[in-house]
């Protein structure tokens, strides 16, 4: 079975622009979480969605938003990009989003110039 997939793999944007990142979970998984990993640091939790509802939000500004579709795929949107948004954005899926292990995708590398 395919693992978690993310698109695009790399992205270059300029300050002030908007970006949409996409994630497809492992087949059968209903929960998707998003993490931001700045170079040299551990991943930071952004959002969790389960059954198309937001179940958790990390300490990120309102410029960050997400949604989950009926097929359980998810999009992360970031508006008004700042240089500090440059990071690896990781998507993780799990079956039910509570005690199950999260499995991560390869990430999207975003560079904001």
106 binds other proteins (CB under 8 A): yes
Which of 72, 76, 107, 110 touches other proteins (CB under 8 A)?
107
The CB-of-23 to other proteins minimum distance in angstroms stands at 13
Nearest to 105 by CA among 8, 4, 11, 2: 4
109 binds other proteins (CB under 8 A): yes
**Which C-beta is closer to other proteins: that of 16 or that of 61?**
61
Which of 36, 102, 110, 112 touches other proteins (CB under 8 A)?
102
Residue/partner pairs of 6-10 with CB below 8 Å, 24 or more apart: 6/89, 6/90, 6/91, 6/105, 6/106, 6/107, 6/108, 7/108, 8/108, 9/106, 9/107, 9/108, 9/109, 10/108, 10/109, 10/111
94 binds other proteins (CB under 8 A): yes
Beta strand 74-78 pairing with 87-94:
unpaired
79 binds other proteins (CB under 8 A): no
Give the residues lining the site for other proteins (CB under 8 A). Answer: 31, 33, 35, 40-45, 48, 50, 55-56, 58, 88, 90, 92, 94, 97-107, 109
């Amino acid at each position: 079975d395919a693992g978690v997939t993310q698109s695009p793999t790399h992205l270059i944007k300029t300050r002030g622009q908007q970006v949409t990142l996409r994630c497809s979970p492992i087949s059968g998984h209903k929960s998707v979480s998003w993490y931001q990993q700045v170079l040299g640091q551990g991943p930071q939790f952004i959002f969790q969605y389960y059954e198309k509802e937001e179940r958790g939000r990390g300490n990120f500004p309102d410029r960050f938003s997400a949604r989950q579709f009926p097929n359980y795929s998810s999009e992360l949107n970031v508006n008004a990009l700042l240089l500090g948004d440059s990071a690896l954005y990781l998507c993780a899926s799990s079956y039910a989003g509570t005690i199950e292990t999260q499995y991560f995708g390869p990430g999207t590398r975003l560079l904001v110039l």
